[in-house]
Amino acid sequence: MKLDKLKNTKILILGFGREGIDNFKFLRKIFPKKILGLADQLEFEKLPKEKRGIIKRDKKIKRHFGGNYLKAIQNYDIIIKSPGVPPKIIKPFLKKNQKITSQTEIFFENCPGKIVGVTGTKGKSTTTALIYQILKAGGLKAHLVGNIGKPVLNLLLSASPNDVYVYELSSHQLYNLKKSPQIAVLLNIYPEHLDYYKNLQEYARAKANITSHQTERDYLVFNSENKFVSEIAKKSKAKKIPIKKHSNILKNIGIFNFAFLPLKGEFNLLNMVAAIKVGEIFKIPKEKIKKAIENFKPLPHRLEFVGTFKGIKFYNDALSTIPETTISALDALGDKVETIFLGGYDRGLDFRNLAKRILRSKIKNVILFPTTGEKIWKEIVKEAKKTKKILPSHFPVNNMKEAVLLAYKNTKKGKICLLSCASPSFSIFRNYKEKGNLFKKYVKKLAKSKFVI
């Protein structure tokens, strides 16, 4: 949506989280006298102090907070929806001629610079950060935005044709978009967020918007080994650059010893290859791309090495929220994984392949969080009966401290303890960051404890 179409309309900002705050600050700068509506499911009193302060200082806000916040929708012409608000819950409140838009759509429609959009069920944050580092190394005026970087609307105030915005895009941000980035990177699609979307097909359609509106002048870098991604690429009008998980492209830029790269695991090869291809589109010299990859600092909670304590190596893979990423983590770390933490919020995922992979490994201890921990264990037991494999020990737990203590007591020196839960974190943790940080906290704290000998 073009900015001039916002002028003479009644606007509601739906969702007052990270993006909602940015939306409000941007709109207030360009419309200092306009009355703006704010709506959020939290009661006003339960908002953080900083957010309450922003609202109290502005005398031209209509507040719609708490359980009935969606009813406010009917009183506005344009609703700027935050990504976390599912479209299906607002549908019953919509009237004819109302427009639902988003921060992403407004930015795409008004940005004078180039946008490199990156999406995928997994790997998008690492790939986005790596592309950003490569473009910076090449001397471009690059900005890291979206889920991993800054919210984007306020950046429009200083945007120029020379700016390049490397934008990490979730399926929620891509949903219903009518414009695609000039350079799109589509890494993979696996079953995820099935509590938000009607089915896997709707989730895949949301992801497809990263290329659906591209033209022949645009580029699509895509994973040709992923079935869903390949089907989406077939329909794209963009110049297509297929990629695979292999090392030849790294060798072409002068990287021959992959063991010393900061990004570990075969799955990260795809992320690096995607970033290299974007660098080549921008004609970044090979030596600068090589240096950016070699100096890249891996993001936390993604197969992050916490350290060696009591002779045990601990890895934090808290962002592993689907079975496929846990399988990839096991492939990366090999047979030294003796203890694994599994389980979390139930989104109806299939754990059969994960059960098979665990029984093929040398894992001896499975520590299980609610609620999918029990579900995963049942699949492991079922598979073990079929294959006559020996079951590992299993330990149901309800908190991180107990889980880490069990890991210390049951993991041998020289072996690995891996937090890679194959499920979202929301059953007993606020999010993956809280889960990963608690893991790191108790790994270090209990290493000093007299109870761990």
List the chain domain ranges.
8-101, 105-294, 304-447
The domain over range 105-294 is classified in CATH as 3.40.1190.10: yes
Q: Which residues pair with 79 in a beta bridge?
A: 12, 100
Side-chain-side CA neighbours of residue 426 (13 Å): 6
Q: Residue 410: exposed, middle, or buried by beta-carbon count in 10 A (0-12, 13-18, 19+)?
A: middle
Q: What is the pLDDT of residues 9-31, one digit of tens each?
A: 999 999 999 999 999 999 999 99
Query: Residue 451, SS3?
Result: coil
The pLDDT of residue 201 is above 70: yes
Question: In this structure, which CATH number among 3.30.750.24, 1.10.10.10, 3.55.40.20, 3.90.190.20 belongs to the domain 304-447?
Answer: 3.90.190.20
Q: Residue 179: exposed, middle, or buried by beta-carbon count in 10 A (0-12, 13-18, 19+)?
A: middle
Share above pLDDT 90 across residues of the chain, in percent, rounded to a whole number: 88
Q: How far is CA 418 from CA 13, 189, 307, 321, 429, in A?
A: 41, 24, 12, 14, 17
Q: Are 307 and 281 in contact (CB under 8 A)?
A: no
The pLDDT of residue 112 is above 80: yes
Residue whose entry in the numeric block shows the structure tokens 């079951």:
391
Mean pLDDT of 47-51: 95
* Predicted local distance difference test score (pLDDT) of residue 453: 44
Report CA torsion sign: 449, 303, 166, 39: negative
Across 238-247, 253-262, 350-359, the highest mean pLDDT is recorded for 350-359
Residues 25 and 37: their CA atoms lie apart, in Å, by: 13
The pLDDT of residue 171 is above 90: yes
Nearest to 134 by CA among 296, 264, 350: 296
Sheet containing 163-168, strands listed edge to edge, beginning at the edge strand earlier in sequence: 141-146, 163-168, 114-119, 183-186, 219-223, 239-243
Which has more confidence, 148 or 309?
A: 309
Mean pLDDT of 312-320: 97
Which stretch of 261-275, 314-328, 387-401 has the lowest confidence by average pLDDT? 261-275
Amino acid present at 263: L
Q: What is the pLDDT of residues 375-413, one digit of tens each?
A: 999 999 999 999 999 999 999 999 999 999 999 999 999
pTM of the entire predicted model? 0.92
Share above pLDDT 70 across residues of the chain, in percent, rounded to a whole number: 99
Q: What is the pLDDT of residues 437-453, one digit of tens each?
A: 999 999 999 999 876 44
**Domain 8-101: what homologous superfamily?**
NAD(P)-binding Rossmann-like Domain (3.40.50.720)
pLDDT band at 84 (very low <50, low <70, confident <90, very high): confident
